[in-house]
Structure 1
């Protein structure tokens, strides 16, 4: 909740700049078995692409079954010292950490120390939740299982922002967040949750009697000979580590509290050992690390039947479909996980049927788009080397940006679509006016037209001329569909439909919540690098709109929906949405923070 827009995959190209950067050079024809041609191409492609994107350092590993085909570092790990990136350089893995947390938890399920479908409260007895979806609160506690935590279906909030950069023991987390309100009904949808994985980490510690780093080293990292890998909150203790940069400028070495969700330092070369273990059905160098049945569970879709997830398939830890990203090829099964934040970017992508994998890590936030495209292109070339046939023809090409067949939606269509939509990127406003349909998101405005397939497409004029490229926003096809009685704004990208937002109608506004309009500052926090310094609440076209503030930087707008006189929620479904905001005597509370009012309207509102 209250997030900035940088680092969000969908729309990130638009919100970073109008249009995207140039295309990489076309790869050469690859003969069957000729992986050396792939390596030569990547060695030629990567350095100029890093220079163009101002990326300091990058490391890559290519895996074919039990063979590490290639591991190579490019650029600089530490500019001040002039240290180059090598295959052994450790990067922040970010959310890729969750794959190891899920694996460690499944090891403990095999040892009968944890139950996959047992309430997590059996292990973390002090932890409980509050729910507006259950009449019996004990039922809500029982609904939070390890399986749902690992597949992001627990219904827990995405984050607990208070003390996000502190280093208190992981074992304290269950007590600190006990009493948290659920954001969605457990088991009903995938809603990505770092908080959920922090609790899994606490359960790993509680069930083994060891701290998380010790358990992961002994149970997973050392057996996999991942010698440059560790779960630590900063990079100070990590040898061979890369420093993080933002657009070429050195970033602080931020403390990570939720180690189980995002605390891993590792290299693509080390990660290749983990991938080889998965390909070998749990064996690494003839030693059993994980049971075959656990791997089957990890790669089995867990969200079957969740209509609101559309085409996004979730396993235990792994995403089992591109979820709107460009697929490697038609009918090619792809499992992946990315990691970003703290000015690092990473992705691990595996093709389970062909036993191919590409792992890329970089130490600059600018590298996010580059890492994604490079991973996809490298896997296509590896498939070609394996089979002797090119993966893609016309079905892998980017959608056309032509305007010839696009039309302004009819009046009745514009009226149906106009409204406020709650999305993870903020409030998406669609307006009907001047015989056109316009959209606005995060300060960017554009026109919405119907394409020849009947989908909405975003376009923008500058000085009277159409721009053919609005980044990801211009590429996806949009429309509104009704699912389970909810009007969902969806996007179709590369043949996959994903949820973007939910249409929200103006609710009745209780006087108690109308009185919350004003600005607020965080109380009693001295945490370093706090993610939030204040919030504001305003009235816009019948909606309460809440916005986070990080000192001089305004964060994202959300629609605030009152539930009763004491509680409201951030409208919509998905990352950061559904979180509960509570009224207090002289302020508000949310995500562990208390906020004191600093300013209110001069005149009280009357209704």
Structure 2
């Protein structure tokens, strides 16, 4: 038995446990290789913190933290850092059930309504709901309950969470399909609570966590664990990054475990000891573990699928049990090879980056197995960026039958949208490979016709004309729903209505009737009903997906206005005595050019010369669009590019005096100031090097529809906002491509705002537009 770490770390009166565990003798090379790989991935993917533990037999042979548990305070992540490991919780719920099965208190195949007489979801299948079904995701239950679901910050009780399922019905007949369900495992946990007469978290603490020596783990965290909890971070397709919320989940047995990688290492050791703890007391029998490690409802040829709690597969010819965890701001994984007793636990602190955690954990497992078998240690595969020049050459639409692959450039980086997610494209030698935060491994060779996959199939270059307008009956559905910490987007793409759910996952909705759709038969919410709910006056108030109701965000297509925090008239009086900040040069000679004199086909709609702006009052006396000559000439070239698409430019703003920037800043609330420039630094508009633009149709003369209106201070204005219609986004992207081809760069929070690449070479200017030559 390995006792060094356990005894020194846990016996009362000894020195505090080590923050990290150095590699055991013989494992130094493995640790060095892993450290290089981990640091590479954290830097490449922007992951703030990460911890990992390696287990060989009855020893934790290395445990180390990387990056920061709290980046703002520069507190390092360590092996003792506490994380939320989400669905890894399900393994402990399954073990708790098996303990009670061994005691004769529960039966895997008895209808759970025997234990929960008040549990009665709507059901047309006339079949039992059993613990075996619940723990192997074969019960057909909705993914989330109506109350206490993954998005619900109100922290309801487990009882309220489970009984809210009485408002739902099973999606598929039981035992017919694998349908992952947090709700199902929560029901199993509530059964444990009911038959033991103890809160689920208390029972698991005493019956499982404490016997296994997992003293830094809990389903309801103690203050000491909360102090050691790493900060998790969220991110979005449109460029935002923010701290993850921390609230206790109603689906507690399915997802609420707090723990460390060293505690998960002790958990793996117990499993490798056939259920015996290091105190030689069993938590379950070897026979129970073998049942849990048997794929349920499968024939003898199936090599991967769910057992009881555990997901089972093969790795290098060995049996493997595993589970991942996806929690706001955290991505976790445990792997175990029970027959050779090798295991890994790993967690990172960036939302949904499980593919990175998985790759690092699997590389660690590969290193351990190679060391055990005396093989050369494998290298960690790396990728390199696609150059911006090549990325812009590859960008476009590709087609394979009825499927589309879109490659596009964002912030000089090549991205792909294919299937459920959008992710970054890199290269390995002359091969393109998807290598991002969400996916890894799709590969293509560049050919004259397009892109060729390893199986020989080809994505051929396709035309990308203006998308057809979507059906008007769908327009009321388009928008944002739910919570700021987890927003649902209903959008249109390629003539289909889509749900973009849990920030990253696109699913086409199948229309089945008025206001009613269903999810496809794959993905997170496979087969679930999608019903839009209207108010008495016919407005769409929200949407119900399975058991969860998502309230619609208020949105308007009318002119956006703010309530100024200071009267604009008052600000206009003050600006007469103000001057912009002093700057040191040298600067290029100022030569502001009137855009319409260069190209009369460029249309003007200068909102700050009218009251049609976010402040509701004119800020300019003259409606002129002025830019520094190089920027103005580049904009003329943009107009020529767009003309080939039947489009023309509309100018909403160009040169802006510094005093106007100061007024905007002083009038705008703090929460919205990322939409206006800080006068302490000045705006690129003040240098004559920024322009606000939109598009019009050359044939009709009408402005095209964009995802938001001009000067709208909402997320819809973001340059990479994923919502709206395909047609709106198509116009926005054609504008961006044309502008970037001539050296402009978009401002991330405003699709209409573009900066000239040489803006630093020009000084801040403060003269009124009417005073310009």
- Contact 2:146–2:161 (CA<8 Å) still a contact in 1? no
**1:271 Cα shift?**
0.9
Distance 1:577 1:459, change over 3 A: closer
- Contact 1:56–1:75 (CA<8 Å) still a contact in 2? yes
Select 1:580's aligned residue among 516, 529, 534: 529
Alignment of 1:180-329 (within 5 A): 180-232=168-220, 238-246=226-234, 250-285=243-278, 286-305=280-299, 312-321=304-313, 327=315, 329=316
Query: Gaps spanning 5+ residues in structure 1: where?
Result: 1-31, 132-136, 400-427, 449-457, 478-491, 495-512, 601-607
Q: Higher relative contact order at CA 8 Å, sep ≥6: structure 1 or structure 2?
A: 1
- Contact 2:82–2:225 (CA<8 Å) still a contact in 1? no
**CA distance, structure 1, for counterparts of residue 529 and residue 166 of structure 2:** 14
**1:98 Cα shift?**
0.9
Distance 1:100 1:287, change over 3 A: same
Distance 1:430 1:147, change over 3 A: farther
Alignment of 1:409-488 (within 5 A): 432=401, 438-439=404-405, 468-471=432-435, 472=439, 475=442
User: Does residue 1:370 correspond to 2:356, yes or no?
Assistant: yes
DSSP-derived class of the 1:369 partner = helix
**CA distance, structure 1, for counterparts of residue 77 and residue 170 of structure 2:** 43
Question: TM-score with structure 2 length normalisation?
Answer: 0.53
**CA distance, structure 2, for counterparts of residue 461 and residue 49 of structure 1:** 15
Distance 1:44 1:535, change over 3 A: closer
**1:357 Cα shift?**
0.5
Q: Please, what is the CA RMSD of the aligned residues?
A: 4.4
**CA distance, structure 2, for counterparts of residue 320 and residue 352 of structure 1:** 11
Distance 1:306 1:522, change over 3 A: farther
Distance 1:520 1:385, change over 3 A: closer
**CA distance, structure 2, for counterparts of residue 52 and residue 102 of structure 1:** 36
- Contact 2:147–2:156 (CA<8 Å) still a contact in 1? no
**1:224 Cα shift?**
1.0
**CA distance, structure 1, for counterparts of residue 47 and residue 478 of structure 2:** 37
Corresponding position of 1:570: 519
1:505-533 deviation line (CA, Å, top 9, x unaligned): xxxxxxxx99776238899x9xx756457
Question: How many residue pairs end up in the alignment?
Answer: 470
User: Does residue 1:112 correspond to 2:61, yes or no?
Assistant: no
Distance 1:574 1:83, change over 3 A: closer
User: Does residue 1:335 correspond to 2:321, yes or no?
Assistant: yes
Corresponding position of 2:506: 556
**CA distance, structure 1, for counterparts of residue 250 and residue 93 of structure 2:** 15
**1:198 Cα shift?**
1.6
Distance 1:469 1:594, change over 3 A: closer
**1:391 Cα shift?**
7.4
**1:340 Cα shift?**
2.1
DSSP-derived class of the 2:61 partner = strand
**CA distance, structure 2, for counterparts of residue 461 and residue 529 of structure 1:** 29
Distance 1:431 1:37, change over 3 A: closer
Between 115-124 and 251-260, report the one with greater CA deviation. 251-260
**1:540 Cα shift?**
7.0
- Contact 1:303–1:314 (CA<8 Å) still a contact in 2? no
**1:272 Cα shift?**
1.2
- Contact 2:509–2:517 (CA<8 Å) still a contact in 1? no
DSSP-derived class of the 1:468 partner = strand
Select 1:547's aligned residue among 499, 505, 514: 499
- Contact 2:295–2:312 (CA<8 Å) still a contact in 1? yes
Question: TM-score with structure 1 length normalisation?
Answer: 0.66
Between 439-448 and 184-193, report the one with greater CA deviation. 439-448
**1:92 Cα shift?**
0.9
User: Does residue 1:51 correspond to 2:36, yes or no?
Assistant: no
- Contact 2:477–2:490 (CA<8 Å) still a contact in 1? yes
Which structure is larger by alpha-carbon Rg, 1 or 2? 2
1:437-493 deviation line (CA, Å, top 9, x unaligned): 744699977899xxxxxxxxx99999xxx972244576279xxxxxxxxxxxxxx99
**1:222 Cα shift?**
0.8
